[in-house]
Chain A
Amino acid sequence: MSVEIAELRKHGAPQIQFGEEVTGAEALLRCLILEGVEHIFGYPGGAVLPIYDSLYGSYFKHILTRHEQGAIHAADGYARATGKPGVCIATSGPGATNLVTGIATAQMDSVPLICITGNVSQKLIGTDAFQEANITGITIPITKHNYFVRDVRDLPRIVKEAFYIATTGRPGPVLIDIPKDVATAKAPFYYPDKVEIRGYRATLVPSDEEVKQFVDAIRSAKKPVIMAGGGIIAAGADKELLAFAEKTRIPVISTFMGLGGFPGTHELSLGMPGMHGNYTANQAILNTDCLIGLGVRFDDRITMGRTKEFAPHARIVHVDIDPAELGKNVATAVSVAGDVKSTLQKAIPLVSACDTADWIRQLREWQQQRPYKYKKDGNVLKPQAVIELLYRTTQGEAVITTDVGQHQMWTAQYYKFKHARSLISSGGLGTMGFGFPAAIGAQIANPGRTVIAVVGDGGFQMTSQELAILNQYKIPVKVAILNNQCLGMVRQWQELFYEHRYSEIDLSCSPDFVKLAEAYGVKGLRASTPEEAERVWAEALQYDGPVVVDFRVEQEENVYPMVAAGDTLDQMKLGED
């Protein structure tokens, strides 16, 4: 038995006998123990009754969310905060379909999840039975892989494969659908010690020749820039990136998914590029002669879909673990299919400092001329000021989760993330309602850290029912609502591109969030001015438990800079002065 399992035993994991005849449900839980799982996010129901019966009084810490979507986003937040796979369970039919948004969210951002669903017994499959849904069919396009378990004897192998697939290569969600008769059928329990999946290439270490091409492409660059993405964080390559950037003296742009992968306070950090990125990062893309993409996918919020005009003077060098990303969106001069950590480890000894002093001087000038800025307005509480407050009071050390929209972009702009796995946000799918349950998962994974869910008044109401579990499981998440009484990003687009025709964005009839928090037994605070914000936030941080803070912010604030859809990065709108 492996060391990890011995380690788990110290935490109270039971000893597992091989060869003992157990039910599928019991076998599943044994597999989870052997995979090192401690926390399960889930919601019971008819088809998973056997699994929940096996969970009764078991070693696992099960978190009963109030909606399956809460469970999967929490599992996702847990996974993003730790790098370990998040595990969630839902019943058949509606339980399973309630996971769909969460699965697609995880797939788009390459998050390792194990989603276990029950299904009706096999003799009822295909009969439109009560709570039957073809969840494997539904989730084919949004999972890395999925399984329908037909025979209890296959279950341990499938679970083993599922964890392997979810966590290796480009990570992603894997769903295992277990019909009720498989959960109750018995078989002797064995767990395979290795996985063999023909045709699946998990780890890609680039050859010496590929690394040499990569290094050669950079050597002569005068204005090189690194664009570091979520792959840096997924690969745990933040230290390698820091060493590589410092040794080569190449400045680093961090994509939204890459924030935290390179310290935001570092002298070589240029911050976020793209639609709401800063002037300097976008100018760097427009002027660079060598753009080094590390664990990025050149998505349309950065290229603006104008891929031919992207980085017009640059040779693009691209390293990614997923060969399908190479050449997918932009044409590259050198592409390396490889894990970014091992690629950088091999490259670091071969590189030397590039002659970038003039280039860095130019970038610094732009940074000084055009930082992120907003207009302060006396006693009006500006949303950007709230994010600055969060940053100032936590010094970039908190874990921040967000929903999607203006508050998400302001968080990316004004919070300088120092560490990997500190920003947890739905970058790809752009899922409203993600931030708060993800914070629950992130807090469970990091009991000692300050975890703040920055949400809007719109997104928060999509999953606010999870307030119910903060006290139940002693989860001291701080929820910072940037409450502008409307759907801010939609309002911004309607103002700028739809002639101020504000269609269906009014959220002024939302509940009193302080009272809502209190109804769940959670402390609620409100701030409407900069002074109140300072005082109330200090109280929230000091309070030993969950708090909801309703920051009543300026309604008509827009996120700038902004590159409008269809424009190129040089057509950036810098906002009102």
Chain B
Amino acid sequence: MQRHTIAILVNDKPGVLTRVATLFGQRGFNIDSITVGGSEEEGLSRMVISTGGDEQQINQLMKQLHKLIDVISVTHLSANPYVSRELALIKVSASPSQLAELNAIVEPFRASIVDVGPESLIIQVTGDSEKIDALLILLQNYGVLELTRTGSVAMARSIVPAEAAETV
């Protein structure tokens, strides 16, 4: 199954997240990750959702989403070049004496250690999902005690090939 990222511009009203999430469930789609927050326009929020399906299924999902009255527009971000970023906080089992060693690991990822305790520390990393996955593999050796990821925020790149971003 292909992975897709879509952005949905919605009214910032109570219940809108439920409407969108219900539609995914109703039409048989899983939400792999979702982020919701403000948009460039007051009163509207932008949702960025990662999900799976073939082209035809994603097309159908986007059309069904657009039928929701509170949905203003739906954009298939992953159909064209786009920027995607995620933030993760990773609590690793380590003592302060291992700080230098861990710093050396996180530095190439431009991650940082944001909290240090006697038996664990917290690493903050930002980037696309693959980068975070890669860092996690390296940290497994120490023992990942807790992980929280935001899900992707994403945006179409300013310069795209001849075909414009697919929006319904």
Interface residues of A in 103-147 (CB under 8 A from B): 136-137, 140-141, 144-145
Q: Which bucket holds chain B's interface residue count?
A: 20 to 34
| Among candidates A141, A198, A200, A328, residue contacting B60 with C-beta atoms closer than 8 Å | A328
- The 16 listed contacts between A and B (C-beta, < 8 Å) are A137-B18, A140-B18, A140-B22, A141-B22, A144-B69, A148-B14, A148-B15, A198-B11, A199-B70, A199-B71, A199-B73, A200-B69, A323-B168, A324-B60, A324-B63, A324-B67
Q: Is the CB of A327 within 8 A of B69?
A: no
Please, which residues of chain B bring their CB within 8 A of the CB of A137?
15, 18
Q: What are the interface flags for B122-165 relative to A under an 8 Å C-beta threshold, 1 for contact and 0 otherwise?
A: 00000000000000000000000000000000000000000000
Question: In the complex where A165-B69, A197-B69 touch, is A327 in contact with B19 (Cβ < 8 A)?
Answer: no
Interface residues of B in 87-144 (CB under 8 A from A): none
Closest A residue to B9 using CB positions: A199
Q: Is the CB of B64 within 8 A of A136?
A: no
Q: Is the CB of A141 within 8 A of B26?
A: yes
Closest A residue to B74 using CB positions: A199
Please, which residues of chain B bring their CB within 8 A of the CB of A165?
69
Binding site for A on B (CB under 8 A): 11, 14-15, 18-19, 22-23, 26, 56, 59-60, 63-64, 66-73, 168
Binding site for B on A (CB under 8 A): 136-137, 140-141, 144-145, 148, 165, 197-200, 322-324, 327-328
Task: Report the minimum CB–CB distance from B40 to chain A (whole Å).
Answer: 15
Please, which residues of chain B bring their CB within 8 A of the CB of A323?
63, 66, 168
Task: Report the minimum CB–CB distance from A187 to chain B (whole Å).
Answer: 20
Please, which residues of chain A bring their CB within 8 A of the CB of B66?
199, 323-324
Closest B residue to A326 using CB positions: B63
Q: Is the CB of B72 within 8 A of A198?
A: yes
Q: Is the CB of B69 within 8 A of A140?
A: no
A140 to B22, CA, bound (A): 8
Task: Report the minimum CB–CB distance from A205 to chain B (whole Å).
Answer: 18
A141 to B64, CA, bound (A): 12
Closest B residue to A141 using CB positions: B26
Task: Report the minimum CB–CB distance from B67 to chain A (whole Å).
Answer: 6
Please, which residues of chain A bring their CB within 8 A of the CB of B19?
140
Q: Is the CB of A324 within 8 A of B69?
A: no
A261 to B35, CA, bound (A): 46
Closest B residue to A329 using CB positions: B60
